Amino acid sequence: MRFPFVRYAVALSTGISAFILTETAPRWLVSAWVAIGAIALFFILKPVRIGQSRADLFRGVPALAFVFLGGWVLAGARSELGDANHFQHVSGIEAYEAVLVSQPESRPLYFRAFAEVQRVRRLGDWQSVTGRVLLLMEKPIPRPRYGDVLLIRGAPQSAKGPHNPGEFDYRRYLRFQQVFHRDFVTSQRFQTVKNDPPCRIVEWACWANRHADSVLVARLGDRREYGVAKAVLLGVRDDLDADLMRAYSASGAIHVLSVSGLHVGILFMTLSYLLSFLKKRGRSGVWTFVVLKLAILWAYALITGLSPAVLRSAAMFSLFTFAEAAKRPPAGYNVLFASAFGLLLFDPYLLASAGFQLSYLAVGGLLYLQPRIERWWTIGSKPGRWLWKVTATALSAQFITFPLAVYYFHQFPVYFLLVNPAVIGLAALVVPVGLGFLILERAPYLSDLLAEITRGSFWVLNEVAVQTERLPHAIWPNLNLTATETLGVYGLMGSVLALFYTRKKAFAWAAASLAVTLGGHAVVQKATQHRQHGFVIHHIPKHTALSLVDGNTLTMLADSEIVQRPRLLDYACAGFWAERGIRYIQVIRFDSLQRGGKFRIEAVERGVYGAKWKRQPFLVMTHPVRRIVTQRLPLLALVRGQAARQVFPVSPEIDLVLDGSTMPRQAARWRERGVRVYATAEQGAWVRGF
């Protein structure tokens, strides 16, 4: 068996997926797991007098079944949904005590951190509980620290699902981290009791991260270079400029802003080169090489705050280092899947993480595709060979990850082949130089030189991203793949690769069948989208946004403030635009009375604007009115902002909608007066048509 961990990791992942999809672990599961484990152990320990291939079958199938059921059992055991001591089973919580178990992240309006709830107060008595909550602590307050114990008045709220069609499901994201509640706390609602870190190693990691951050602040100065340096070297995006972030995304270089296998791999290769002289000094030198290399790799993991992506990569490269020291050529696939197997045993819900999936897919693509692509072209010059090697690396990683990236992010960077060689080359410079600068920050003259090189390198990196974004059609937006379509695309890719590798007709038929199926589905989908018509009032807190869909063209009516905040608008609407195959978007600010496309917005009276969609009039009210004045009964009346303060009678034929710009309690006031009202804060986006 050449790559045993490939089979084991796949079996474990399948078992974990079974629990994630069903969210159940039947009672008979543990008994079946123990029984199959006993059968597997029997065939492994007792020689069987049959052929070698049949013996492998008798040993392998029960072993894989044991790992599969083990994954299912493990995921069920780690789930907190069935924990009887979880605070979600306690009603009438008056206050709770929680300790911060993650390093707080800074956001414009609040600090964000996960906390472990230790006690809750109910009817004046405290009781011990378990469970985690996501805390959003309103600014301005002193920056919280890992290990802070907080006393918070009130009860955590259940995490809410998406309010808009196609919106990112943040509740599902939290569930895979075993977090089911969140709480936005003002400074008046909590107080810090003490600092009692639950794990000293994580405390040291947070201290190292804060110290490195203070060095970058003191020496780099400019916010743009500092923000990117902090993201690339420390894995913290707190100070990244929103426009710069969008430029990196459009240029296909967004991966460099997340500390991942690329950064650890660069450090790994740099250390291999710098410490290679030790391997020439016999066995003691080899093990000195191993110890120093691993110590520096894990010290870097500590500086990044022990982020999951760095832990994954550090674990994988540690296995490579030990295999090399033992003079056993490391089998790349075995090491890759062994690290995945170990991490999933530690946290089975990593399997649902987009970062986990993309990083392992990228490394797998590099192991299989990069050497084959590199052999396509033989270049004589050393710089040319290096450039082609980097291009092959970028092409293989992008090829293997693009279906999953489209599934999650709904876009594709057009110029990634042009940008990635420059980005990888600059990353190969800034990671070792930047880390050297952090280590030698007290060395006179040398630290100044390294600081200037670091600042200049990050300036160039920023310019590459910004100038690429300015190129025409730099990004292909509003792409959409469902989970089934993503699996189909990977099936097609795997069939084509297997066909080239084996030359078997079965893979040709499989590839052709999948291509015809996917192509036919795409044609039908495009035809359906070409005939679609729909009307959506999105829910965006404190803002108003309407999507009017006609085929693959969309007209958006929005307030002036949300138009100036494209990231917020994209978060709420981009997934919906991608699902509907939107290609052309026109944004009209209804409060500016602009005219465009098929829509004309007119002032009906003070604070009331009227428009038509598919021959049906509708109204948008921005100020309180006593009644609706119009010559024809409107399709709907959208009440926003201050207009919801005054209740007035409305004909039952009219859909009266209160959007995210109104206060949630105002919907109850309207209903108390007998008015039928639709509140997007409670019921999600208002959708008609399609």
What is the distance between the alpha carbons of residues 69 and 672, in angstroms, rounded to a whole number?
A: 54
Q: Are 159 and 173 in contact (CB under 8 A)?
A: no
Q: Which of 598, 596, 592, 591 is nearest to 638 (CA)?
A: 591
Per-chain mean pLDDT for the chain:
84
Asked if the model's pLDDT at residue 633 lies above 70, the reply is no
Asked if the model's pLDDT at residue 591 lies above 70, the reply is no
Both tokens assigned to 31 = 């008994």
Both tokens assigned to 41 = 């152990």
Per residue in 476-526, pLDDT (tens digit) is 888 889 999 999 999 999 999 889 888 888 999 999 999 999 999 999 999
pLDDT (0 to 100) of residue 592 = 60
What is the distance between the alpha carbons of residues 634 and 653, in angstroms, rounded to a whole number?
A: 9
> Do you find a cis peptide bond into 140, omega within 30 degrees of 0?
yes
- How much of the chain exceeds pLDDT 70, in percent? 92
- Highest mean pLDDT out of 11-15, 30-34, 246-250: 11-15
What is the distance between the alpha carbons of residues 557 and 601, in angstroms, rounded to a whole number?
A: 10
Instruction: pLDDT band for 51, please (50, 70, 90 cuts).
Output: low
CATH of 87-198, picked from 2.40.50.730, 1.10.287.70, 3.50.50.60, 1.10.10.10, is 2.40.50.730
**Cα 268 → chain centroid:** 25
Both tokens assigned to 580 = 């509907």
For the ranges 98-112, 186-200, 306-320, 532-546, the lowest mean pLDDT is seen at 306-320
pLDDT (0 to 100) of residue 629 = 58
Asked if the model's pLDDT at residue 147 lies above 60, the reply is yes
The angle subtended at Cα 561 by Cα 556 and Cα 566, nearest 5°, is 65
Per residue in 427-474, pLDDT (tens digit) is 888 888 888 888 888 888 888 888 888 888 888 888 888 898 888 888
Per residue in 297-306, pLDDT (tens digit) is 888 888 887 7
Q: Which of 534, 536, 592 is nearest to 563 (CA)?
A: 592
